[in-house]
Amino acid sequence: MGKILVPVDFSDASGKLLSLAEETARARGASLQLLHVIEPVAETAGLEVDPAMAQLQFAQDFDAEKRIESERLAKLSAEISARGLACSSEVRFGLPADEILSAARETGADLVIMGSHGHGALYHLFTGSVVTGVLRRIDCPVLVVPLRQKKS
């Protein structure tokens, strides 16, 4: 197995996901590709905004967010690399499930390891699930790691 894609959302449970991904990569002699997806923000309805000004503001906000998230992800990648495991990182903009699928295809991922926060069925009815969106359309194996904390 050569490449493992790991989508990272920087939630509190990301450490658990990365630990498992690193352990799996070591056991299989694979490299890690960390991916963070910046989701588009829905425009505020009902506000009159100059389209050119809105586009400029969006571009500035996106560039700043991409720079910040790229630095965060590169730091995680460097920490993993310092422990002797080949690791790279990438930040993309778009819908998470679509970008995960694209990255998996483009990098030739042999496995995707992603976390699930374990929201209930009602939550997924209204918002959908990135994991479900990926599982329905991906061509390689996916390991889904439950990230919700167990209640004592």
Residue 133, Cβ density class (10 Å: 0-12 exposed, 13-18 middle, ≥19 buried): middle
Neighbours of 134 (CB within 10 A): 21
Highest mean pLDDT: which range of 22-36, 119-133, 137-151: 22-36
Whether the pLDDT of residue 125 is over 50: the answer is no
Determine phi and psi for 114, rounding to 5 degrees.
-135, 155
User: Maximum distance among all alpha carbons in the chain?
Assistant: 55
Top CATH class of 3-40+51-146 equals: alpha beta
**Per-residue pLDDT tens for 59-107?**
667 788 899 999 999 999 999 999 999 999 999 999 999 999 999 999 9
Nearest to 91 by CA among 35, 31, 141: 35
End-to-end CA distance of the chain: 37
Residue range 3-19: average pLDDT? 93
Q: Which of 108, 106, 87 is nearest to 8 (CA)?
A: 87
Domain boundaries, the chain: 3-40+51-146
